[in-house]
């Protein structure tokens, strides 16, 4: 098979939770570039004008946005119904949605530090990152299992594999107990997604549904230079990722290029977890 055939997604319906976010939009563009039909399922779906020609230019003529809250079982059932009504089927689910607190800009560290993290925050983060992925997998993955073919990709993180190095988030002039940190929920959600990946991969192996995870490292956006430098020092390639550097891995996992792969975690982290 030629490389373009291996990665081809022509006509495949790919539901991307958190599709309106920073990386979700890039996953959608990559899917559209390979001929697939991205469905952006997001709580913030109102940011897109689907009839705008620019939307179709970016995501393809058949792409759509479905407003949804993946923490709500009824909304997830409605998501499947809307996808099947519109396209007749679903081929791929990318569990990408998450609560992503921006630690480096934290002004209220009480909501992120272990000692004071509100239990409501714990429930909210797990509700999106884990319960949402479980519900979408059960409902949309269940439909793929009934049809005998499908793919699920769970978006984890390098922090699914290693503990956060809290030193990179430190701000000068603060007491230790006032320093911002990456919250525990991030590690728990991302590590949990790897467990979900292995469970679903073995549960649905004979049903024809492959389930893998991707563990991306941090993407460079508008973080302060000092933070970027500290994090880059922990990465053998010496830099954070560009926002387009996960597209190849996403296409690999979504397409037949990864046909003999299930239950695995594809680490794309500039080598951070190798150090």
64 lies in the site for ligand NAD, by CB under 6 A: no
Question: Of 5-13, 21-29, 105-113, 197-205, which part binds ligand NAD (CB under 6 A)?
Answer: 21-29
The single residue of 87, 169, 186, 260 carrying the catalytic annotation is: 186
Question: For ligand NAD, which residue of 9, 14, 16, 20 counts as binding (CB under 6 A)?
Answer: 20
- Beta bridge pairs of residue 16: 40, 94
CB within 8 Å of 16: residues ≥ 6 apart: 24, 27, 28, 31, 38, 39, 40, 41, 94, 96
- Tell me which residue has its CB nearest to ligand NAD: 21
Answer yes or no whether residue 218 interacts with ligand NAD by CB under 6 A: yes
Is residue 186 annotated as part of the catalytic site, yes or no?
yes
Minimum distance between the CB of residue 85 and ligand NAD, rounded to whole angstroms? 19
Q: Which contiguous run of DSSP H or E holds residue 93?
A: strand 92-95
Compute the distance between CA of residue 49 and CA of residue 67 in angstroms, rounded to an integer: 12
Out of 35, 44, 78, 265, name the contact with ligand NAD by CB under 6 A: 44
Using the rule CB under 6 A, is 43 a contact of ligand NAD? yes
- Within 100-129, the residues that bind ligand NAD by CB under 6 A are 100, 128
Tokens of 209: 């549904």
Please state, in angstroms and rounded to a whole number, the distance separating the CA atoms of residues 234 and 90: 39
Angle formed by the axes of helices 22-33 and 247-254, nearest 10°: 60
Question: Given phi > 0 = left and psi -120 to 50 = alpha, else beta, which region is 270?
Answer: left
> Mind telling me the catalytic residues?
186
**Binding residues for ligand NAD (CB under 6 A):** 17-18, 20-24, 42-44, 68-71, 96-98, 100, 128, 132, 155, 157, 216, 218-219
């Amino acid at each position: 098979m030629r490389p373009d055939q291996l990665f081809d997604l022509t006509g495949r319906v790919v539901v991307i939770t958190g599709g309106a976010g920073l990386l979700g939009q890039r996953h959608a563009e990559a899917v559209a570039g390979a001929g697939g039909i991205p469905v952006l399922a997001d709580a913030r779906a109102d940011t897109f004008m689907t009839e705008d020609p620019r939307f179709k230019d970016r995501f393809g003529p058949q792409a759509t946005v479905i407003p949804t809250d993946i923490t709500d079982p009824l909304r997830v059932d409605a998501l499947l119904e809307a996808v099947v009504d519109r396209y007749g089927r679903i081929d791929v689910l990318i569990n990408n949605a998450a609560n992503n607190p921006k630690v480096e800009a934290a002004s209220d560290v009480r909501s992120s530090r272990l000692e004071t993290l509100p239990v409501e925050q714990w429930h909210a983060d797990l509700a999106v990152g884990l319960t949402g992925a479980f519900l979408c997998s059960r409902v949309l993955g269940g439909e793929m299992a009934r049809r005998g073919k499908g793919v699920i990709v769970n978006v984890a993180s390098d922090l699914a594999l290693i503990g956060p190095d809290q030193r990179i988030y430190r701000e000068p002039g603060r007491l230790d107990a006032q320093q911002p940190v990456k919250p525990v929920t991030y590690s728990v959600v991302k590590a949990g997604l790897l467990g979900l990946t292995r469970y679903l991969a073995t549960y649905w192996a004979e049903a024809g549904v492959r389930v893998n995870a991707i563990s991306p490292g941090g993407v460079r956006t508008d973080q302060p230079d000092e933070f970027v430098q500290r994090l880059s020092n922990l990465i053998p390639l010496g830099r954070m990722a560009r926002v387009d550097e996960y597209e190849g891995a996403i296409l690999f996992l979504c397409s037949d290029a990864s046909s003999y792969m299930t239950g695995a975690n594809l680490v794309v982290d500039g080598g951070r977890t190798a150090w």
